[in-house]
Amino acid sequence: MTRILVLAGAAFALSVGLAASALGQRASTPTLKGVVGPGFTISLRKGGKRFTSLKAGTYRVTVTDRSAIHNFTLERESPKPKIEKHVTGTAFTGTKTITITLKRGRWSFYCSVHESMMHGFFRVS
């Protein structure tokens, strides 16, 4: 009986440790917040502020799409190979979250329907 209690306690401690580790990893992933629409506006911020550069790594990107005529796309333009991720689609409105590894290079975010008017850029080093 004592042996069973010891094994159960060890299993519980292990599961608590793994859960804490997973939560700690999730909490350390930086979050970028994007907004597109309702007018012809698009933005991407970190900690509520605009940025022009980031460190390479894994980021959580949460996009609020406020218009069914826009979308939100992230793209690494250079160096090759090009990386393109459509976070929201044109008919979608609401919020979506993705996790993406940003690699070194020049990145852009834009509405692919209105790219000439709705875009922004940043560098990853």
Total domains present in the chain: 1
Tens of pLDDT, residues 84-117:
999 999 999 999 999 999 999 999 999 999 999 9
**What integer is the mean pLDDT of 5-14?**
48
With respect to residue 15, please indicate whether it lies within any of the assigned structural domains: no
Q: Is the pLDDT of residue 7 over 50?
A: no
With respect to residue 117, please indicate whether it lies within any of the assigned structural domains: yes
CA 63 to chain centre: 8
In the numeric block, the tokens 């459509």 are attached to 86
Q: Please state the pTM of the whole predicted model.
A: 0.77
Please give the residue that has the higher pLDDT: either 39 or 20.
Answer: 39
With respect to residue 12, please indicate whether it lies within any of the assigned structural domains: no
CATH number, domain containing residue 104: 2.60.40.420
Tens of pLDDT, residues 26-43:
558 999 999 999 999 999
Coil, strand, or helix at residue 90?
coil
DSSP string for 32-87 = EEEEE-SSS-EEEEETTB--SEE-SEEEEEEEEE--TT--EEEEEEESSSPEEEEE
Looking at residue 26, what is its pLDDT? 53
Q: Which of 61, 122, 113, 109 lies closest to 89 in space, CA to CA?
A: 113
CA 125 to chain centre: 17
- Residues of the domain holding 48: 29-124
Coil, strand, or helix at residue 98?
strand
